[in-house]
């Protein structure tokens, strides 16, 4: 579908690929549109919902400035998926053993590996850049316990919240491994640090913003280049984390499926990040807050909830969306609201047929707390085409 809603009362237009936007999210989008450095317009994906700092599902092109809170604290959060050379006929009748195998290999929540599990080459490559960042901003390290050990041992770990690892079947019954994670504790520390630094740097000018979470660094200002360096490092850390985690998962599953091969990597893509791109005649900074790049021919991953379908998609390079599409289904209610409304039995019923946790610890991730993924996909048919449809049979949550 084409753009469904157009907001024009701000300094820049807001073009929205759905007609279902909660009032709080509309207010956030209006606040964003008031900023003087928005380039052309703001594009909003059909999974839009209220976020912290900026609206989840928004694509924000800026000239000469970047908003750290729009990028967020899970810098570089995104997806990775691979297709295996085995199919549904190779699966055991009871999938609990597969879930247990993955859970034994990958720490979840706040946990980390008990020893350095990432490849030494990955650690060394990241260490050089981080040392340079910490040399200028030592407070980042003081925001974590045992920071050096933590960032290394969290490489190849899942985290909590909406992060997950899934074993899925596609339309041909081929098996896929799909995962969702980001830059873990070190990315969170970098994000929090620079969000607060942007507020301090703006000083009294912060009062002129419609929301203090929209504090920004201007190009040429004291800490602009430092933030660019730090956010690019965190994005690389997130990419490496997913790559290392996928390697560990595949190693563990070889006990279940001896001799399988990885036949296709769909993509390793960010959906909370900033990049330098060319749109509407100018080079700009594009912040995708809960959105993935969908340039012409580019592959991406759009997951549903833990009880719904997910999709491997190919971008159509739509200019009005800044070559973007949604990063998932999008929430319809907050985590606290979901916990108040639903029970363990609701989780069990809504995840029928999926081998996963069904206890009170995952109620906030219940499928009913998310938008209908088929509706979300229909609203962005102008932005992407579906290459594969995946249905999870095993889901590991933090």
- The residue whose two tokens read 């973007």 is 324
Q: Tokens 């899970």: give the residue.
A: 74
140's tokens: 């980042």
Torsion of CA 241, 244, 250, 254, to 10 degrees: -140
The verdict on whether residue 57 carries a ligand-binding annotation is no
CB count within 10 Å of CB 149 equals 12
Bridging pattern class, strands 78-87 and 262-270 = antiparallel
164 is known to lie in a ligand binding site: yes
Active site residues: 327
Q: What size, in residues, is the chain?
A: 398
- 166: annotated binding-site residue? yes
223 is in an annotated binding site: no
397 is in an annotated binding site: yes
Q: CA dihedral in degrees (130, 134, 135, 141; nearest 10)? A: -140
187 annotated to a ligand binding site: no
165 known member of a binding site: yes
- Residue 327 assigned as binding residue: yes
* 336 is an annotated ligand-binding site residue: no
Annotated binding site for GMP: 162-166, 271-272, 303-306, 310, 327-330, 397
Annotated binding site: 74, 162-166, 180, 271-272, 303-306, 310, 327-330, 397
Annotated binding site for Mn(2+): 74, 163, 180, 271
């Amino acid at each position: 579908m084409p753009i469904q809603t157009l907001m024009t009362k701000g300094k820049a237009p807001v073009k929205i690929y759905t007609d279902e936007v909660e009032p709080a999210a509309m207010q956030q989008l209006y606040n964003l549109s008031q900023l003087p450095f928005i380039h052309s317009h703001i594009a909003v994906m059909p999974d839009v919902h209220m976020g912290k700092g900026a609206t989840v599902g928004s694509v924000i092109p800026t000239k000469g400035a970047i908003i750290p809170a729009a990028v967020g604290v899970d810098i570089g959060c995104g997806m990775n998926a691979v297709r295996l050379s085995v199919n549904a006929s190779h699966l055991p009748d009871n999938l609990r053993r597969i879930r247990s195998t993955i859970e034994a290999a990958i720490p979840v929540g706040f946990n980390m590996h008990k020893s350095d599990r990432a490849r030494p080459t990955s650690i060394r490559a990241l260490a050089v850049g981080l040392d340079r960042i910490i040399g200028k901003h030592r407070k980042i390290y003081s925001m974590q316990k045992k920071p050096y050990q933590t960032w290394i041992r969290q490489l190849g770990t899942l985290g909590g919240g909406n992060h997950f690892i899934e074993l899925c079947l596609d339309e041909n019954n081929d098996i896929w491994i799909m995962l969702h994670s980001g830059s873990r504790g070190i990315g969170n520390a970098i994000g929090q640090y620079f969000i607060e630094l942007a507020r301090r740097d703006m000083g009294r000018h912060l009062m002129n913003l419609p929301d203090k979470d929209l504090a920004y660094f201007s190009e040429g200002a004291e800490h602009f280049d430092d933030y660019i360096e730090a956010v690019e490092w965190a994005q690389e850390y997130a990419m490496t984390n997913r790559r290392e985690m996928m390697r560990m998962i595949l190693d563990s599953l070889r006990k279940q499926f001896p001799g399988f091969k990885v036949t296709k990597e769909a993509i390793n893509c960010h959906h909370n990040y900033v990049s330098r791109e060319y749109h509407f005649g100018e080079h700009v900074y594009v912040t995708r807050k809960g959105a993935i790049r969908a340039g012409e021919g580019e592959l991406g991953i759009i997951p549903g909830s833990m009880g719904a379908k997910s999709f491997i998609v190919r971008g159509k390079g739509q200019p009005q969306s800044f070559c973007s599409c949604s990063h998932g289904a999008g929430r319809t209610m907050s985590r606290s609201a979901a916990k108040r409304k639903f029970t363990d039995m609701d989780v069990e019923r809504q995840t029928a047929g999926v081998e996963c946790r069904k206890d009170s610890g995952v109620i906030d991730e219940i499928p009913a707390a998310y938008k209908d993924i088929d509706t979300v996909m229909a609203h962005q048919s102008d932005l992407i085409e579906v290459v594969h449809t995946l249905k999870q049979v095993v889901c590991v949550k933090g």
